[in-house]
A = this chain, B = another copy of it.
Amino acid sequence: MALRYALLAALQEEPATGYELTQRFRTYLAHVWNATHQQIYRELGKLHDEGLVTAETIAQSERPDRKQYRVSEAGETALTQWLATPQPRPATRDPLLVKLFAGDNLDARVMARELAELRQQCEQRLAAYREMERTWFRDPGSVPRRYRLQYLALRRGILGAQSWLAWLDEAEREFPSTDDS
C-alpha cells in the first residue's frame, strides 16, 4: 500500500518518469522505501488508471520515449488522506536473527563472515548518509521544513546504521572473525 504514496510524495516534490523515480528510490529513498523499477512502473500504471497521476509522453530522438507523471488533484487528496491515517509498524523479519535460533547447527566461521559483510554494508551506508548530511543539511536549522523532514528520515537511517554497528560489536565477540580475508 505505501509504495503508491511514496510515489505520490516523490512526484509531488517534482514530476518525474519511472526511470527517474527508480533512481531516486535507489539513492536518497533507499533508507525509507525500497522498490525495483518493475514495481515502480507497475504501480505508476495503476496510479494512472485510477486517475491519481497524469502522464505526458515526451518523444526523444536518440533515446526511447519518456513518460512524465505528475500528481493529479485526486492524487493529492488520496495522499493527504493516507497521511492522516496512522500506519501500523512494519513487522520484524530478519533472517540473520533467525539463524541465531538454530543453535548447534550454526557454524561460527560462516556466521563470522556474514557479520563481517554486514559490518561493511552498514559502514558503507553510514558513510553515504553522512555524505548526504554534509552536502544538504550542513545547517539543519536554516533548511525549509520540507527538507528538514527529509533530514529526519536521513537521521533515522544514520541512527539505524549506528545501532547495527553497536550490535555487531557485541555479536563479533561471540563469532570472532578468523581474519583470513
Binding site for B on A (CB under 8 A): 1-2, 5-6, 8-10, 12-13, 29-34, 76, 79-80, 83-84, 86-87, 89-107, 110, 113-114, 117-118, 121, 145-146, 148-150, 152-153, 155-156, 159-160, 162-163, 166-167, 170-171, 174
Q: How many copies does the complex hold?
A: 2
User: Taking A33-B93, A149-B174, A167-B155 as contacts, is the C-beta distance between A86 and B114 under 8 angstroms?
Assistant: yes
Pick from A101, A104, A107, A153 the residue with the most CB of B within 10 Å. A101
What secondary structure prevails in chain A residues at the interface with B? helix
* Cβ-defined partner of A32 (8 Å) among B98, B118, B152: B98
Q: A152 with B100: in contact, given A83-B110, A163-B163 (CB under 8 Å)? A: yes
